[in-house]
């Protein structure tokens, strides 16, 4: 239409249902299941931990993961990073004594980035 500017925006077409993994999170759950079968992981749970970052601000990592040696990690699965998600995981890593692991699927492979854990 004359006089109008068309803008493409990336929107969410499907609302996330709490407690139910999306397709990418399900794929990551399958990856964790393989690691559990191999004996690398003792246990993993989806959406089972909620961390308070500040007043009325919480972060729920996608997966609670207990490694074979008893170490606890909190994993976040991302197709792409939005600024607020990166800020939350960095804040959580400063506040809590866990290793936070971000997983992204690129070219059919999982790529990882770690935060905290010192």
Nearest residue to 75 (alpha-carbon basis) of 94, 92, 87:
92
Question: What would the pLDDT profile of 27-56 be if each residue is shown by its tens digit?
Answer: 999 999 999 999 999 999 999 999 999 999
CA angle 112, 75, 33 (to 5 degrees): 90
Domain spanning 23-116 has what CATH number? 3.40.1350.10
pTM value?
Answer: 0.83
pLDDT of residue 51: 97
Local structure of 11: helix, strand or coil: coil
């Amino acid at each position: 239409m004359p006089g109008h500017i068309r803008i493409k925006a990336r929107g969410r077409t499907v609302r996330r249902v709490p407690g139910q993994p999306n397709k990418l999170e399900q794929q990551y759950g399958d990856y964790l299941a393989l690691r559990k079968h191999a004996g690398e992981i003792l246990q993993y749970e989806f959406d089972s931990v909620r961390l308070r970052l500040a007043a009325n601000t919480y972060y729920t990592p996608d997966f609670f993961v207990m490694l074979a040696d008893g170490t606890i990690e909190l994993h976040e699965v991302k197709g792409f990073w939005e600024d607020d998600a990166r800020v939350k995981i960095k804040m959580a890593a400063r506040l809590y004594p866990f290793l936070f692991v971000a997983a992204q699927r690129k070219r059919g492979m999982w790529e990882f980035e770690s935060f905290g854990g010192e």
